[in-house]
Amino acid sequence: MKSRVLLVDDEESFVDTLAERLRNRDFDVATALRGEEALEKIKEYNFDVAIIDALMPGLGGIETLKEVKRLKPLTEVIMLTGHATVETAIEGMKLGAYDYLMKPCEIDTLVEKIKKAYARKAEHEENIEKAKMQVQVIEVGKLASMGELAAGVAHEVNNPVAIMMEEAGWIEDLLEEESQKGENLDEIKRALKQIKAQGERCKQITHKLLSFARKTHSQLSDLQLNELIEEVVGLSQRTARYSNVRIETELDSNIPPITASPSEVQQVLLNLINNAIDAVGKDGGKIKVSTRMDNDDVVIDVSDTGCGIPESHIQRIFDPFFTTKPVGHGTGLGLSICYGIVDRMGGKIAVRSSVEKGTTFSVRLPIQPNDKEINDIQR
Amino acid sequence: MIKKETDQIECIKLLLVDDEEGYINVLSKRLARRNICVTSALKVSDAIHILRDNDFNVAILDLKMEDMDGIEALKIFKRLCPPIEVIMLTGHGSEQAARDGLSLGAFAYLTKPCDLDDLLNKIRQAARRKGGGTGG
């Protein structure tokens, strides 16, 4: 691709000649005779390199440079100066110009500088892209490996838990045969019951963990999202009323049916609504569940007027076992499970939150499952 | 690796295959008390040897065994002894494997850890389906 160069100088003949010579050397050149004109063009097109005369009437070279850097930080700027304005050129460097050249300059020198500036811009862009990619890869990879770890732990824990519960049952079996004496008998029975109850709790946890990590799928079907939402909201109304929370829906009637597993989508919605009810707390408030189309995706927003999520927590809310609820009241797996389900459906889940004002979770689902989903099903 | 817990004639003859020794030990005892005649095996290969020489009504098979994939084991069981009813034990999340098992002729599956009463019900249903005879 040709480098796109903007040439800014108030001397028309100089600009025209230079532009022609640069075009001959295979650059894509636009020109401007004034700073203001240059900024119009900068706003409209993406230039790789801008060559700006330091001394111009109206908007001067330095001001033009500042504006260019503000509007398009990635565009590299080369300042052109006369002998008298070297100081200006230095100031330009401080403000982010890539280099400066003294007029009259050799065309080859200028070409050399433009190429270097272009290379620097390209490298810059690449780094930014890489940085972006890296963040995403780490996030997804981290959750994936957490899922694997969680599944591994759950499987390993299941067996000892099963044995413990059976041994407790075995003691119960044996106690039935014992003669009904001994003051400790009731206490032993109580303790056994407790062991069983706690074993049951372990079982619930490992099951939740495994459903966060699981690879299998429930049956896919054509799903009328709005109907499902009304259903789930209906289910949650009781809990909501108890907490003095009003749940409203605002459903876009134009949403097409999506291909998804009803039980999985229901699980996501229930988790989000229950979290919202908890966030609102006993003081009452409002939850709104809405649907809308965005390009080819369906978006479900669950917003609450609750306590919000502090910035220090927001990065961790999708991590397995992260919870702010008191010990014993939440496993910290709800959002991990939601994340897992939505990710497997080829969708995205995002959160916006403001402390004391409320939180909105947005679940974006494709109308048709993407390739990832289909591959998973075939596996 | 072979343990006979009871020798009652009328009892359901059950082959219990699981690689968790602690689990089969306690489960064998509890089932034995409930008139089920349990033979246990810690490995699929042991279970196959036992199955060749003995008649069973029902087998309980953990799908996650170290020496052989549970589905492979199920196929061999059904080939060696077609009338045997197999109850699979799975971890949660391996429902797909369990469904594959059902289509290969397994009687039912339960997720581990399972409730003893649920397991007993399944064992009795399986034994009834087979009509109490051995036939193999």
Of A170, A199, A214, the CB nearest to B26: A170
Contact in structure between B46 and B67 (CB atoms under 8 Å): no
pLDDT in tens, B40-81: 999 888 898 898 888 999 999 998 887 788 888 898 898 888
> Which contacts of A30-37 are long-range, i.e. CB under 8 A and separated by 24 or more positions?
A30/A4, A30/A5, A30/A6, A31/A6, A31/A7, A32/A6, A32/A7, A32/A8, A33/A8, A33/A9, A34/A8, A34/A10, A34/A58, A34/A59, A35/A8, A35/A59, A35/A60, A35/A61, A35/A63, A35/A64, A35/A67, A37/A8
CATH number, span A216-379:
3.30.565.10
- What are A321's two structure tokens? 């076992």
Distances (CA, A) of A286 to A224, A229, A241, A310, A356: 25, 16, 11, 20, 13
State whether B23 and A170 contact (CB < 8 Å): no
Query: How many residues make up chain A in this entry?
Result: 379
pLDDT band at A144 (very low <50, low <70, confident <90, very high): low
> Which pLDDT score is estimated for B136?
39
> Which pLDDT score is estimated for A36?
92
Distances (CA, A) of B63 to B91, B119, B122: 8, 15, 17
* Highest mean pLDDT, choosing among A102-106, A142-146, A331-335: A102-106
The CATH superfamily assigned to A4-105 is: Response regulator (3.40.50.2300)
pLDDT band at A132 (very low <50, low <70, confident <90, very high): low
Domain positions in chain A: 4-105, 134-212, 216-379
Contact in structure between B62 and B110 (CB atoms under 8 Å): no
- What are B15's two structure tokens? 């082959």
Q: Scan residues 202-241 of A and list those with Cβ closer than 8 Å to B.
A: 203, 206-207, 210-211, 213-216
Q: How far apart are CA A286 and CA A295, in angstroms?
A: 28
> Which pLDDT score is estimated for A146?
63
* A-chain residue closest to B99, CA distance: A216
- What are B51's two structure tokens? 């199955």
Q: How far apart are CA A375 and CA A362, in angstroms?
A: 25
Q: Which amino acid is at A243?
A: S
Q: Is the pLDDT of residue A92 over 80?
A: yes
> Which pLDDT score is estimated for A218?
57
Going along A114-201, which residue ranges are E strands?
none
| ipTM here | 0.70
Number of Cβ within a 10 Å radius of residue B133: 10
CB pairs under 8 A between A and B: 60
Q: How far apart are CA B1 and CA B47, in angstroms?
A: 9
State whether A207 and B95 contact (CB < 8 Å): no
pLDDT in tens, A271-320: 899 889 988 887 789 999 999 999 889 999 999 998 888 887 888 888 87
> Which pLDDT score is estimated for A286?
92
Which neighbouring-strand residues pair with A214?
Answer: none
Number of Cβ within a 10 Å radius of residue A377: 13
Q: Which of B46, B116, B130 is nearest to B86 (CA)?
A: B130
Burial code (b: 16+ CB inside 10 Å, e: under 16) for A200-229 equals: eebbebbbbbbbbbbeebeebeebebbebb
